[in-house]
C-alpha cells in the first residue's frame, strides 16, 4: 500500500512540475505612454477644452491570465486645470484583455470628492523579447467635476485611447 502512495506522490510531483513549466512565468513590467482623451458630453465653458492628451507612468504584474496594473497619469489642462490621477486596474487575459479600475484625481492641492471608475479593453503585444506594446480604449466615468473658476458642475465621463510601451523586468 505504501508503494502505491509513493508512486502517486511521485506522479503528482512530476505532473505539477510539468504544469509549472508549461505555464507562462509571472512578469513585472514597467513603462510609460500617452492617452488621447475626449469628453463624452460637449463642454460649453469658455477656455475649457473637451479633449486633449495625458501621459502615464505604469507598472504591471502578470502572474497568469489575471494581471494587475497601477498608473500615475498626468493630465495637463484637463477641463481647464492640470490634474494627477493615480489609478489601479485588474486585467483579465493576455494578448487581448479587458478589465476594470478605480482612481482619483488630484487638482489644485486637493483630491476629488469621489473616485472615478473605468472599464478598459486592449491589445497587449510582445514587440521584441521583453518589450511590450499596449494599445487600448478606456471609458472613465464619474458624476461630475466642480471647477474652481466656474459656478457649474460638468459631466466628466471621458473616453481614452492610449498606447504604452513597457519593459519586462
Asked if 120 contacts 137 with a C-beta cutoff of 8 angstroms, the reply is yes
The whole-angstrom separation of Cα 163 and Cα 165 is: 7
- CATH 1.10.3080.10 correct for 25-168: no
**Tens digit of pLDDT for each residue in 73-99?**
998 876 667 889 999 999 999 999 999
Residue 2 confidence (pLDDT): 53
Residue 17 neighbours by CB under 8 Å, 6+ apart: none
Backbone phi and psi for residue 40, each to the nearest 5 degrees, phi listed first: -70, -45
Q: Tell me if 33 sits within 8 A of 162, measured CB to CB.
A: yes
- CA nearest to 144, candidates 45, 35, 56, 34: 45
pTM value is 0.76
Dist. CA 166–CA 159, nearest whole Å: 22
Tell me the average pLDDT of the chain. 81
pLDDT digits (tens, 9 = 90+) for 100-140: 999 998 988 889 888 999 999 999 999 999 999 999 999 99
End-to-end CA distance of the chain: 47
The residue assigned the cell 500615475 is 72
Amino acid at each position: 500500500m505504501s508503494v502505491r502512495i509513493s508512486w502517486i506522490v511521485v506522479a503528482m510531483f512530476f505532473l505539477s512540475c510539468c504544469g509549472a513549466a508549461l505555464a507562462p512565468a509571472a512578469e513585472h513590467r514597467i513603462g510609460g505612454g500617452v492617452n488621447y482623451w475626449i469628453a463624452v458630453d460637449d463642454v460649453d465653458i469658455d477656455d475649457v477644452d473637451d479633449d486633449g492628451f495625458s501621459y502615464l507612468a505604469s507598472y504591471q504584474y502578470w502572474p497568469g491570465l489575471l494581471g494587475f496594473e497601477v498608473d500615475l497619469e498626468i493630465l495637463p489642462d484637463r477641463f481647464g486645470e492640470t490634474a494627477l490621477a493615480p489609478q489601479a486596474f485588474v486585467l483579465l487575459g493576455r494578448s487581448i484583455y479587458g478589465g476594470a479600475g478605480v482612481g482619483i484625481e488630484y487638482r489644485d492641492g486637493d483630491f476629488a470628492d469621489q473616485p472615478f471608475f473605468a472599464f478598459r479593453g486592449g491589445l497587449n503585444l510582445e514587440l521584441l523579447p521583453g518589450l511590450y506594446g499596449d494599445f487600448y480604449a478606456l471609458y472613465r466615468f464619474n458624476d461630475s467635476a466642480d471647477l474652481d473658476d466656474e459656478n457649474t458642475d460638468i459631466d466628466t465621463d471621458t473616453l481614452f485611447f492610449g498606447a504604452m510601451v513597457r519593459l519586462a523586468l
